[in-house]
Structure 1
Amino acid sequence: MIETIRNAWKIPELRKKILFTVFALLIFRLGSVVPVPFINSDLLGSTLNSMGGIFALLGAMNGTAFSMAAVFALGVQPYINSSIIIQLLTVAIPALERLQKDGGEEGRKKIAAITRYTTVAIALIQGFGYYTLIRTTNSGALLDTGSIPGVWAAIVIVLCFTAGSAFVMWLGEQITEFGIGNGISIILFAGILSRVPSMILTLYTGISNNINGVTGDNVFNLPWWGAILIVIGMLAIVVLIVFITNAERRIPVQYAKRVVGRKMYGGQSSHIPMKVNMSGVMPIIFAQAIASLPATIGAFVPSAQVEGSGWNTFLKIFDTGSIFYIVVYFLLILGFSYFYATMQFNPVEVANNLKKNGGFIPGFRPGKPTADFIHKVLNKITLFGAIYLAIIAIAPIITGNIIGVSSLAIGGTSIIIVVGVALETTKAMEAQMLMRHYKGFLE
């Protein structure tokens, strides 16, 4: 990746795109440290870190902005949720499906506009939910409205969160259009990497406390072999992610020969590429959101904090380090992987397109036999990809239980996103460099 950036820097046009992307990310990081008015950011950060649940996932996706209630606290999450909802609705609603398939450029613009409006609506809902959490936690100690009425303070806070999310969406679109591309993914990438310095500092503090013999209930203590285990595990996960991301199953396709006048067309061989992990990180995000739902609800129930109560016993079953949580998490990842793969890849549609273009898979008749074969291959690949995602997601949890670091539970999700975005960005830059040097292949 470093070599690709170095080569791209030599091209003036790509250099401008890289500088524009860096400038946009600086604006994003600036908005991620500007706190929203009327909120005690320091107390909020320590409170959210102790609550865990889905708040830990949101903190990992949005970086430090979420824990300090910055203007960009919601980040790109509303836009991602909006894109997923619209994508699912295009399958369920025929009008949206026709708009996507047959609407052309105008149809894509309308769907993009619908996605933006949905993003604003989701940001309003999430902003109000975040404000409600801040207002009800610690008996309102997280708020400092002064002499301003609570209603006006609530409006200001919710609108700041919503406006920040809308601006981040716009910033991502500008990076896609004028930068190096993949704007939303790059912003998500920057948000995750912003937590790396604090993670390194935490590991260093834990090792120092272990060496110096510092102990206590709220003191993080990490043995040196635990730090080595974390580093080796992260490197192994990166290697596995790179391998699986580039892996694909190629189904051979043969096109029949046909004679038109005095010329013969067709007869060439091709293949259908099927990515091993075509679902990306979405199954992990969905599974973690649902598996963490009991703990998230329990954070709003005062009786759940009482030791020995029914709610407290129930929440301990769904603790992120329990065996029950790991099993449920594993099964949810498998289920969502199959669901998302089915939404993205339609074997019947692929078989019909092959039949229309005179193509066939050797050994299988066109039509239903071809669709059945593609569906069978899809199920096998999805199972392998789902197990891979489950291993990536569960391995940090098991490692965290061994060395006593609960914050590793979301490490697999973050690494998949970071490595995936880095690979996609590298490929996009290589493609742009190839387009600008195509003359060299002709001479």
Structure 2
Amino acid sequence: MASAAEQLAANLNFKAFGKATELKHRIWFTLAALVVYRLGTYVPLPGIDPVALAAAFDQAQSGLLGLFNVFAGGAVGRMAIFALGIMPYISASIIIQLLTTVIPRLEQLKKEGDQGRKQINQYTRYGTVLLATVQAYGISVGLESAGTIVTEPGMFFRFTTVVTLVGGTMFLMWLGEQITSRGVGNGISLIIFAGIIAELPSAVAGMLELGRQGALSTPIILLVIIMAVVVIAFIVFVERAQRRLLIQYPRRQVGNKMFQGDSSHLPLKLNTAGVIPPIFASSLLLVPATLTSFGAGSEGGGVLGTVQALFGHGQPLYMLSYTAMIIFFAFFYTAIVFNPADTADNLKKHGGYIPGIRPGERTAQYIDYVLTRITVVGAIYLVIICLLPEFLIASTAVPFYFGGTSLLIVVSVTMDTVAQVQGHLLAHQYEGLVKKSKLKGKRR
């Protein structure tokens, strides 16, 4: 049976949207910020020959570099000021969250509420600057060694490249935070989402052009389209799936009134970690790719060429690394966002209990047991979604980088953003009802 909130959400219409002034301001702010991001992906680095860069990128875009270019909204192929994208920030977040579990000081900060989170966020920013500086310097060296891409190589070019790329990443990090606080949706996820969507038309057009030239057969193109539709439907189904634990509340007396016992559900999402594990795994796998792609292309072999070949689409090392990271981060991030002990304590304080389970520690153990089981299913689901298109790309040689990870990000971010829009509309309607009731009370 649908809840009151679900029934109200089903009745939302454009009339209610038109009256939600704050929501419209948030949406316009979000769109304006994403437009600024897209414009930045077309501003090239100083001292780059675009013709030579395009020729070098066409030879080196296989494997992870092509996926990185999708995540960056095409900024890598154009070597724009946002070429590093938001990935250094994501990598720094991973490192800080891992260190939180082993360093007591960081763990204590995590428990201190908003003040502690602000300090951890500051450490994450410092880590972002450090990682972005290392990656930017590696890219500058790789560009200089890749032939005639750089018009005037030297320390000045390296310095300007590092400053520009690091500044671009920090600006995107700030822009994502502004979207989260003043717009609609998660800013970092929306920036990645915008980059993927921007590259989708060119990827589809490239695949259709290969079909027109005869490089790809019609059955393969149809198979890719059908697979994309099936994957999207599967993602929506699983992302909405929940394991509901029955919660009972006993009868209680407040003053002279006796309240009957009530029941509710504790919803546990099948994929509690959401889209974070594939993003984390991709960001870690992209770090060596950014440092080896251009260098490997110039040498034509050696250690860099071997590393780049091993991390290509369909290669065993890439598949195993990607699978292991997705599974690890699925459990790791679930443990961060959901604490069974805290949930059990809150239930105990409010008199709630799971039928047949003693309140307190036993309830925490039971919730942890159920959460572990559904996380196993969620991790398997993420692996299937992310690797199935990789096998198709490897077996059919389709140069189509809008794979399972990209589809998962697009669908999940879309669902989360729509849910936030509905939440703002619900809040606006509730506020309207409260104001009307107050006006009626004054008239009486």
Matches of residues 160-309 of structure 1 in structure 2 within 5 Å? 160-210=164-214, 221-259=215-253, 262-263=256-257, 267-288=261-282, 299=293, 300=295, 305-306=300-301
Superposition CA RMSD, Å? 3.3
Task: Look up the match of 1:67.
Answer: 77
Task: Look up the match of 2:344.
Answer: 351
In structure 2, the residue corresponding to 1:92 is in which secondary structure?
Answer: coil
Deviation of the 1:287 alpha carbon? 4.0
For residue 262 of structure 2, what is the amino acid of its counterpart?
A: Q
In structure 2, the residue corresponding to 1:190 is in which secondary structure?
Answer: helix
Query: Following the alignment from structure 1 to structure 2, what is the Cα–Cα distance between the partners of residues 297 and 157?
Result: 14
* Cα deviations by residue, 1:71-102 (Å, 9 ceiling, x for unpaired): 11122222222333333333333333333333
Matches of residues 416-427 of structure 1 in structure 2 within 5 Å? 416-427=408-419
Query: Following the alignment from structure 2 to structure 1, what is the Cα–Cα distance between the partners of residues 113 and 353?
Result: 29
Contact kept in structure 2, 1:321 and 1:406, CA below 8 Å: no
For residue 422 of structure 1, what is the amino acid of its counterpart?
A: T
* Cα deviations by residue, 1:143-202 (Å, 9 ceiling, x for unpaired): 1127xxx11111111100011111112222222233224222221111111111211220
Task: Look up the match of 1:89.
Answer: 99
- Identical positions, percent: 39
Contact kept in structure 2, 1:277 and 1:385, CA below 8 Å: yes
Deviation of the 1:258 alpha carbon? 4.6
Would you say 1:56 and 2:66 are equivalent positions? yes
Query: Following the alignment from structure 1 to structure 2, what is the Cα–Cα distance between the partners of residues 310 and 115?
Result: 32
Corresponding residue to 2:392 among 380, 384, 399: 399
Contact kept in structure 2, 1:292 and 1:318, CA below 8 Å: no
Contact kept in structure 2, 1:54 and 1:289, CA below 8 Å: no
Task: Look up the match of 1:433.
Answer: 425
TM-score, normalising length: structure 1: 0.84
Task: Look up the match of 2:4.
Answer: none
Question: Relative contact order, CA 8 A, sep 6+: which one is greater?
Answer: 2
In structure 1, the residue corresponding to 2:146 is in which secondary structure?
Answer: helix
Contact kept in structure 1, 2:238 and 2:271, CA below 8 Å: yes
In the alignment, structure 1 segments of 5+ residues that lack a partner are: 211-220
* Cα deviations by residue, 1:374-399 (Å, 9 ceiling, x for unpaired): 22211221111111111111211222
Query: Following the alignment from structure 1 to structure 2, what is the Cα–Cα distance between the partners of residues 227 and 237?
Result: 15
Change (3 A) 1:76 1:245: same
In structure 2, the residue corresponding to 1:39 is in which secondary structure?
Answer: coil
Query: Following the alignment from structure 2 to structure 1, what is the Cα–Cα distance between the partners of residues 391 and 343?
Result: 40
Identify the range of structure 1 (264-273 vs 229-238) with the bigger mean alpha-carbon deviation. 264-273
* Cα deviations by residue, 1:26-53 (Å, 9 ceiling, x for unpaired): 2111111000101234433443454334
Matches of residues 5-44 of structure 1 in structure 2 within 5 Å? 8-9=17-18, 11-44=20-53
Query: Following the alignment from structure 2 to structure 1, what is the Cα–Cα distance between the partners of residues 260 and 112?
Result: 27
Would you say 1:109 and 2:103 are equivalent positions? no
Identify the range of structure 1 (251-260 vs 191-200) with the bigger mean alpha-carbon deviation. 251-260
Deviation of the 1:314 alpha carbon? 8.3
Change (3 A) 1:203 1:407: closer
Identify the range of structure 1 (154-163 vs 87-96) with the bigger mean alpha-carbon deviation. 87-96
Query: Following the alignment from structure 2 to structure 1, what is the Cα–Cα distance between the partners of residues 342 and 411?
Result: 31
Query: Following the alignment from structure 1 to structure 2, what is the Cα–Cα distance between the partners of residues 263 and 22?
Result: 52
Change (3 A) 1:288 1:31: closer
Corresponding residue to 1:379 among 367, 372, 383: 372
Identify the range of structure 1 (166-175 vs 353-362) with the bigger mean alpha-carbon deviation. 353-362
In structure 1, the residue corresponding to 2:264 is in which secondary structure?
Answer: strand
Query: Following the alignment from structure 1 to structure 2, what is the Cα–Cα distance between the partners of residues 226 and 370?
Result: 51
Task: Look up the match of 1:216.
Answer: none
Change (3 A) 1:180 1:291: closer
Contact kept in structure 2, 1:259 and 1:265, CA below 8 Å: yes
In structure 2, the residue corresponding to 1:249 is in which secondary structure?
Answer: strand
In the alignment, structure 2 segments of 5+ residues that lack a partner are: 1-8, 438-444
* Cα deviations by residue, 1:381-427 (Å, 9 ceiling, x for unpaired): 1111111111111211222234321434x611111111111111111
Identify the range of structure 1 (65-74 vs 321-330) with the bigger mean alpha-carbon deviation. 321-330
Query: Following the alignment from structure 1 to structure 2, what is the Cα–Cα distance between the partners of residues 237 and 167?
Result: 33
Contact kept in structure 2, 1:53 and 1:293, CA below 8 Å: no
Change (3 A) 1:294 1:99: closer
For residue 428 of structure 1, what is the amino acid of its counterpart?
A: Q
For residue 419 of structure 1, what is the amino acid of its counterpart?
A: V
Corresponding residue to 1:124 among 115, 133, 136: 133
- Matched length: 423
Query: Following the alignment from structure 1 to structure 2, what is the Cα–Cα distance between the partners of residues 185 and 82?
Result: 15
Task: Look up the match of 1:320.
Answer: 313
* Cα deviations by residue, 1:214-243 (Å, 9 ceiling, x for unpaired): xxxxxxx11122221111111111111111
Task: Look up the match of 1:214.
Answer: none
* Cα deviations by residue, 1:46-69 (Å, 9 ceiling, x for unpaired): 434543344233212111112211
Contact kept in structure 1, 2:244 and 2:267, CA below 8 Å: yes
In structure 1, the residue corresponding to 2:274 is in which secondary structure?
Answer: coil
